[in-house]
Structure 1
Amino acid sequence: MTDIKPPSGVLDRGMLLLSLFSMERKRLQLRELAELSGLDKATALRLLKVLVKWGFLEKNGDGAYSPGPANLRLSSIFKATSNFISRIEPPVARISARVEQTTSFFIRSGNERTCLARDHAYQDFRYFIDVGGSVSLDEGGAAAQLLFAYTEAETPAYAATKARGYYISRGERNKHFASIAFPLFESDGSFLGAVTITGMAVDLDNETLISFRDIAHAEMAMAGFEVIPDTGDE
């Protein structure tokens, strides 16, 4: 028996089922969805039928469920109408052009980090999380550690990351890559997420990565974002 207590609202339960899908869990059987959500199979099945009917899920030939085309339609609308996306994409592209490495922007969503913006000019043979993709924060990496530092209860390690203003990772998710991540804030000081610059570890020492951070700071500041939190102190 599961100890998970699902929400009581029908819409909440449907949203819970949708939230269970990730890049690591692209296809889920009814049994898995029931176990992960805490819903009984009969209730989960009723909700799944509605989500399939409206195109938010698809039922595959083997009985597994996966995200449906309605999500792609909403994703396109979100990208076209989001003021934040229109603000973050230009400086992300400019940073990549200046440092000639891949620049991304991640937010925290539950226990995952989700990519909201990424420059595509420097893909070559590298593996990256594309826009809209998510991976577990527990997999590590510069963005994950930075997001933990600003969204979890403070620890000495998180306090050190915040005081330093960046996090450098080498080989945490892939032994060939090195990344630097730094926080991004809205003009009112609210934390938005992590800007990350990633390249081949053999080409990037820490001094170079920190110089990239300085370039990125300048570009984000020109776009109206804050790169140092406003504490309200005079």
Structure 2
Amino acid sequence: MDDVPPASVPGRASAERLLSILSCFQRGDDSLSLSEIARRTGLIKSTALRIAHPLVETSFLVRDNHGDYRLGPEIARLNLIYHESMRIENYVLPVLQSLVDATGETASIYIRHGSYRLCQYRVNSPHQLGVHKQPGETRAMDEASSAIVLRSFSDHGEHQSLIALPVYTQGASDPFAASMAIPVFQNEGIMLGALVLAGPCNRLTPGQAELYSDQMRSAALNLSRQLGGEAAFLRALQPPRQF
């Protein structure tokens, strides 16, 4: 079976057409006519009608009194299962650990908490001399890299100010500590928080931070992708337009 081209696998074309109908629904859609489904999927109306029938029978779609289609209760059931299984720490902690393994510095996620920033997740550096904090600790929204990132993007990912990512700062909260930060996003483009790498100034120097920049961008992209916020992260890398 490994030698069979993917397109020749029995049932694949039908499965792709089924998924194309489900995925053609967009935010704000209450219902879609058969003609609109055909237009969005590129299917002819007779094919769209034939493929929609088993989706209605299995409650993935519901057909209303006008003959239009709405997403059905089976979608809601699967969505509930997805969110119940979506323990964010299961995605965050491996990414933080990989950064610590690669750099030897402390990796964390900071979120907005009122007028403060709060350390939500952290994996500490293995070095005795390092930045060691615990999840739940709050810090001022000062000029540290994580605070800059949290101020620079709204909850829904829009730029609030022009910054290059990742942000690097020295001595902002602690005269002997340096850090670099980059935003992470989740489903629907909501900002999860700032992914932060922190260490002593004599170890996390500007030159060393430059070497870690690609790893930070890769880690933030990886985590955002796993949480459903890849598109928002890629937008964040693009500076806002200047008019």
TM-score of the superposed pair, with normalisation by structure 1? 0.54
Q: Which residue of 2 aligns with 1:147?
A: 150
Paired AA for residue 222 in structure 2: M
List per-residue Cα deviations over 1:192-222 (Å, max 9, x = no partner).
1101111121223323213323113323433
Q: Distance in 1 between matches of 2:208 and 2:103?
A: 10
CA distance in 2, matches of 1:120, 1:141: 18
Count of matched residue positions in the alignment of Structure 1 and Structure 2: 145
CA distance in 2, matches of 1:219, 1:160: 21
| Aligned structure 1 segments of 4 or more residues deviating by more than 4 angstroms | none
Among 201, 212, 228, the alignment partner of 2:234 is: 228
Work out the CA distance in 1 between the residues paired with 2:235 and 2:187.
9
Q: 1:222 to 1:146 in 2, by over 3 A?
A: closer
CA RMSD of aligned residues (A): 2.8
Structure 1 or 2, whichever has the larger Rg, is 2
1:82 to partner: Cα distance: 6.6
Q: Which runs of 5+ in 1 are unaligned?
A: 1-80
Shift of 1:127: 4.4
The alignment-based identity, stated in percent, is: 19
- Map 1:145-224 to 2 at 5 A: 145-151=148-154, 159-161=161-163, 164-223=164-223, 224=226
Which whole-Å deviations, capped at 9, do the CAs of 1:136-160 have from their partners, x for residues lacking one?
214x3111111111149xxx9x522
Q: In 2 relative to 1, CA 216–118 (structure 1 residues): closer, same or farther, beyond 3 Å?
A: same
Task: Give the distance between the partners of 1:165 and 1:106, measured in 2 at CA.
Answer: 16
Could you tell me which runs of 5 or more consecutive residues in structure 2 were left unpaired when the two chains were aligned.
1-84, 239-243
Q: Find the partner of 2:102 among 93, 98, 104.
A: 98
Give the whole-Å Cα distance in 2 for the aligned partners of 1:107 and 1:208. 25
In structure 2, relative to structure 1, the CA distance for the partners of 1:115 and 1:97 (3 Å cut) is: same
Which residue of 124, 128, 137 corresponds with 1:133? 137
SS in 2 for 1:183: strand
TM-score normalised by structure 2 residue count: 0.52
2:112: which partner in 1?
Answer: 108
Partners of 2:124 and 2:205 in 1: how far apart? 23
Query: In the aligned structure 2, how far is the partner of 1:121 from the partner of 1:170?
Result: 18
Tell me which amino acid in the other structure corresponds to 1:101: E
Residues 187 and 113 of structure 1: CA distance in aligned 2, closer, same or farther (over 3 Å):
same
